[in-house]
Amino acid sequence: MSERILYQFPISHYCEKSRWQLDHKGLEYRIRNLLPGPHRLRSQWLARINTLPILRDGKRVVGDSTKIAYYLEKYYPERSLTPADADQRAAMIELEQQMDRYGVHVRRWLYGQVIDRPEVMNAMLDPYRLPAPIQRWLTPITREGTRRLYRIEPKAVMRSEQRLEEGLAMLEAQLTRSGGEYLVGGRLSLADIAAASLLAPLVAPPGTPWDMFAEGSLPPALDKQLADLRERPVGRWVLERYRTDR
Ligand SMILES: N[C@@H](CCC(=O)N[C@@H](CS)C(=O)NCC(=O)O)C(=O)O
């Protein structure tokens, strides 16, 4: 078998989307964690983009989780995540794209609440097993880089909260229309994987990288906001998709 490698950040919800799809299809792959910041040297060299995930599949290289998704559907159609029906397929493509955009707001809103907490940079950097003094040195650099890159500033965070609410309401309406289990076509599709993985940081399914805060350690107002998210239909749906399909 030619080598398959997913270049990723462990904490990235876009990378989770690709991992989930690869796992669902039962495809073997190796993970290569790139360090945030210097990753751009490799990502530019591999795929001429700044972001991860990037998949190397033998000689082929595909960057961007959506392009990876359709690449995998095309070359590895077994355990398909694409509805056969044309209308359902169109609905799935539309939802997948929408979720891709909402993923940005999930990230900005959540970082806006927790970026200064030590658990966050630990979750980001611990997987690299760097010597402790190097990790201590990198922590504030990575935090400030993340803040700048994703525009974690009060006004933008507030706007992202509004966009996020729109996205959650849109998904809840779609789930009501579809019967509540899967978003389109009555079975797991790329739309479900995109929605569940890109929203996962909000509800922190057990065992995922976002399950990082000890119970009762967050400020009560934020704790309640996150508990409310987990309790609302779309929050329960994400947790259920993780329990059943991940
Ligand atoms: N639309 C892209 C978004 C990927 C993305 O935003 N990745 C982030 C991590 S969550 C990233 O690589 N950021 C680093 C950078 O922009 O330098 C995809 O679906 O792959």
For 162-220, the pLDDT digits (tens) are 999 999 999 999 999 999 999 999 999 999 999 999 999 999 999 999 999 999 999 99
The average pLDDT across 48-53 equals 98
32, 51: one domain: yes
23, 111: one domain: no
Helix (H, G, I), strand (E, B) or coil at 30: strand
Give the number of the atom of ligand 1 that is nearest the alpha carbon of residue 63.
20
208, 119: one domain: yes
Give the number of the atom of ligand 1 that is nearest the alpha carbon of residue 51.
12
Task: Report the residue among 9, 14, 15, 19 best suited for mutation to probe ligand 1: largest number of ligand atoms under 8 A from its CB.
Answer: 14
Question: CB of 3 within 8 A of CB of 60?
Answer: no
Question: CB of 68 within 8 A of CB of 53?
Answer: yes
181, 231: one domain: yes
Residue at a domain's end among 47, 75, 103: 75
Residue at a domain's end among 31, 46, 75: 75
Separation CA 24–CA 22 (nearest Å): 5
Instruction: Determine how β-strand 4-8 pairs with β-strand 30-33.
Output: parallel
- CB burial string 101-114: b at 16+ within 10 A, e below: ebbbbbbbbbbbbb
CA of 69 to the centre of ligand 1 (A): 15
The pLDDT of residue 1: 58
Pocket of ligand 1 (CB under 6 A): 9, 12, 14, 40, 50-53, 64-66, 100, 149
58, 95: one domain: no
CA of 113 to the centre of ligand 1 (A): 20
Return the residue whose CA atom lies nearest to atom 15 of ligand 1. Answer: 51
pTM over 0.85: yes
Does any domain span residue 80?
Answer: no
Helix (H, G, I), strand (E, B) or coil at 173: helix
Question: What total of structural domains would you count in the chain?
Answer: 2
69, 103: one domain: no
